[in-house]
Structure 1
């Protein structure tokens, strides 16, 4: 989790810690008193750590919400957290487009399945009539042979 946070915030963190490296060099080059440098760096470090802590908490909270959303997202994207920046909005827009495409494909598949089911039901119904007619013809032919055979036996 820490590495994921560091990878997602690499440039901002570099910009936060860059003054910690630059200020000592400037103080050394201008022969300024080290006490004021140490006091300034202490205040800056405390403020930077507070901001980084707040950002880590936001990052973890968003990560937790996304993990919960992955467990509950089936057909709705309403479980996703509100996007905080343009990139997150773009991702949510992309997810909405993909969700709509999925719904369209499922709907098309349902229609095709219904059409296939209707076709085979109609086919089965229509094939029953010729089969029943052939069965009736065969029964009539058998009855005719039975009647004819018994008449020949009676003679």
Structure 2
């Protein structure tokens, strides 16, 4: 009964209109002195028609109300759209519901994919951070834990923790960038200092040819990229060293060259893919395959580029193209 009264309330405009028409006809018949029995017959027939139409409409109204209360799923929603619409506006509303549900499901799929990527990253990251922890544990058991090993392995743990934090922030870097003028030589020196213990332990040389370049970029994120590239070079270089210099033929192209084990040709074209470790990563270091992927993503957002060339047994050259347009605000 409550639903019926609600239906009457929703149709009040039509009911008041019908009552107004009845009043107009009654006034007209009275002014022209038309017999009232003619008016009463017309009123009876029109009332019967109105009641019949409203009864049919109420059945549609009640059924649709019941379906909406039950919470319609996508397949039922399509059936509902085909079979129960009896006005243009309702068809429009139903199409809107279908469109909103499709959009909702697309958003859910995107969130699920992002969550799966994050879980995959956590899995790789947890596997990677176990390595320095296992080394520390082994050295402690063998009473061979010296200051150099301790510093190296703790630095790796700190590096992997920083990588995790940067990965979580990477998809929201648009609001985190601070573009400024950066002295490239000083940035490289500051980055290399962080890895001094590794150079000393592996007896690797380092050479920096002064670039005398000032670039426009985000210092924090660019240094993160330099750290990833440099750490990779150190990991896979056992003799010789690493040198950093500017490409004289290409403006603002910084080259980081090592004399390491090199990268297979089939791996070199895929090292920037998410989670791809290649032969070296699987065989030597149990890498996560995220460092270079993150580097490429970050540089792309900064407006820079990265690529590499390598020969097995000779070494690898990583090229950072650091040009950046300067916009002046009027």
Which position in structure 2 is the counterpart of 1:59? 61
Q: How many residues align?
A: 139
The Cα of 1:36 is off from its aligned counterpart by 1.7
Tell me by how many angstroms 1:53 deviates.
Answer: 2.1
Pairwise CA RMSD = 2.2
Partner of 1:138: 140
* Structure 1 CA distance for aligned equivalents of residues 121 and 61 of structure 2: 54
Question: Which deviates the most, 54-63 or 88-97?
Answer: 54-63
CA contact (8 A) 1:27 1:33 kept: yes
How far off its partner does 1:21 sit? 1.2
CA separation of 1:27/1:121 partners in 2, compared to 1, >3 Å: closer, same or farther? same
Change (3 A) 1:140 1:88: same
Question: In 2 relative to 1, CA 129–16 (structure 1 residues): closer, same or farther, beyond 3 Å?
Answer: same
Q: Hey, what's the Cα distance between the residues in 2 that align with 1:61 and 1:139? A: 75
Contact 1:66 1:80 (8 Å CA) reproduced: no
* Superposed displacement of residue 74, structure 1: 4.3
Name the CA distance, whole Å, in 2 between partners of 1:135 and 1:48: 88
Larger Rg: 1
Partner in structure 2 of residue 44 of structure 1: 46
Q: CA deviation at 1:87?
A: 0.9
Partner in structure 2 of residue 124 of structure 1: 126
Alpha-carbon distance in 1 for matches of 2:134, 2:55: 81
**CA pair 58-93 structure 1, distance change in 2 beyond 3 A:** closer
Query: Secondary structure in 1 aligned to 2:94?
Result: helix
Structure 1 residues 136 and 54: CA distance shift in structure 2, 3 A: closer
- TM-score, normalised relative to structure 2: 0.38
User: Take 2:126 and 2:20, find their aligned partners in 1: how far apart are those partners?
Assistant: 78
Structure with more strand by fraction: 2
Residue 4 of structure 2 corresponds to which residue in structure 1? 2
For structure 1, the residue ranges without an aligned partner over 5 or more in a row are 143-155
The one-character-per-residue Cα deviations of 1:20-44 (angstroms, maximum 9, x if unpaired) are 2122111111111122222222222
- In structure 2, relative to structure 1, the CA distance for the partners of 1:6 and 1:131 (3 Å cut) is same
Higher helix share: 1
Q: Give unpaired runs (5+ residues) of structure 2.
A: 145-330
Question: 2:69 and 2:137 mapped to 1: Cα distance?
Answer: 64
| 1:149 corresponds to | none
CA distance in 2, matches of 1:58, 1:17: 24
- TM value normalised by structure 1: 0.75
Partner in structure 1 of residue 317 of structure 2 = none
State the Cα distance separating 1:116 from its structure 2 match: 1.6
